[in-house]
């Protein structure tokens, strides 16, 4: 699923960085260093929220590994 952030960045929702918000809930943060906007995932069902969160974690870990190898 593609999305557009407030800063104008466009990409897959799963490409956002998985974070916990101030209340410890799952959220996704814009990867742009100049933005950092955080969206909570409460608008999704619990099942969809967990699937999206796990996919974002896998993509983030995969991206981090690629950067370490390079």
The span from the CA of 44 to the CA of 19, in Å, is 16
Domain presence at residue 10? yes
Question: What confidence tens digit (pLDDT) does each residue in 10-51 have?
Answer: 888 888 899 998 889 999 999 888 898 998 888 899 999 999
**How far apart, in Å, do the first and last CA atoms of the chain sit?**
28
The domain of 40 spans 2-64
Total structural domains within the chain:
1
What pLDDT is attached to residue 45? 94
What pLDDT is attached to residue 29? 93
- 21, 40 Cβ separation under 8 angstroms: yes
What pLDDT is attached to residue 64? 61
pTM: 0.75
The span from the CA of 48 to the CA of 13, in Å, is 13
Domain presence at residue 69? no
């Amino acid at each position: 699923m593609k999305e557009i952030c407030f800063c104008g960045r466009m990409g897959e929702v799963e490409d956002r960085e998985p974070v916990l918000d101030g209340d410890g809930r799952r959220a996704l943060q814009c990867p742009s260093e100049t933005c950092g906007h955080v969206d909570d995932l409460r608008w999704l069902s619990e099942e969809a929220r967990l699937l999206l969160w796990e996919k974002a974690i896998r993509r983030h870990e995969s991206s981090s590994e690629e950067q370490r190898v390079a």
